[in-house]
Amino acid sequence: MKKATCKDMRGACDQEFEGETPEEMGGKCREHVMQMVQSGDAGHKAALDSMMAQSKEDQEKWYNEFRANFASLQDV
């Protein structure tokens, strides 16, 4: 099991997420970001906007890097 913070995943806070796979961890973070945006958090809204402003290619590139670096994340 690995852990990374919301910020590590281009979010806006230091909340930690754990996961066995990049998909699991990314999914938890995405859910968290959406909840924060819905509750009116400006920081997460800005983070989400900057993610959305990227092209599909750039989003995929970032995600591929995140997957490649997953093994080097902190173990839980």
Is there binding between residue 11 and Zn ion (CB under 5 A)? yes
Q: Among residues 31 and 56, whose Cβ is nearest to Zn ion?
A: 31
- Asked if 13 touches Zn ion (CB under 5 A), the answer is yes
C-beta of 6 vs 48, nearer to Zn ion:
6
Is 6 one of the binding residues for Zn ion (CB under 5 A)?
yes
SS (H, E, C) the chain: CEEEECHHHCCCCCCEEEECCHHHHHHHHHHHHHHHHHCCCHHHHHHHHHHHCCCHHHHHHHHHHHHHHHHHCEEC
Binding-site ranges for Zn ion (CB under 5 A): 6, 11, 13, 15
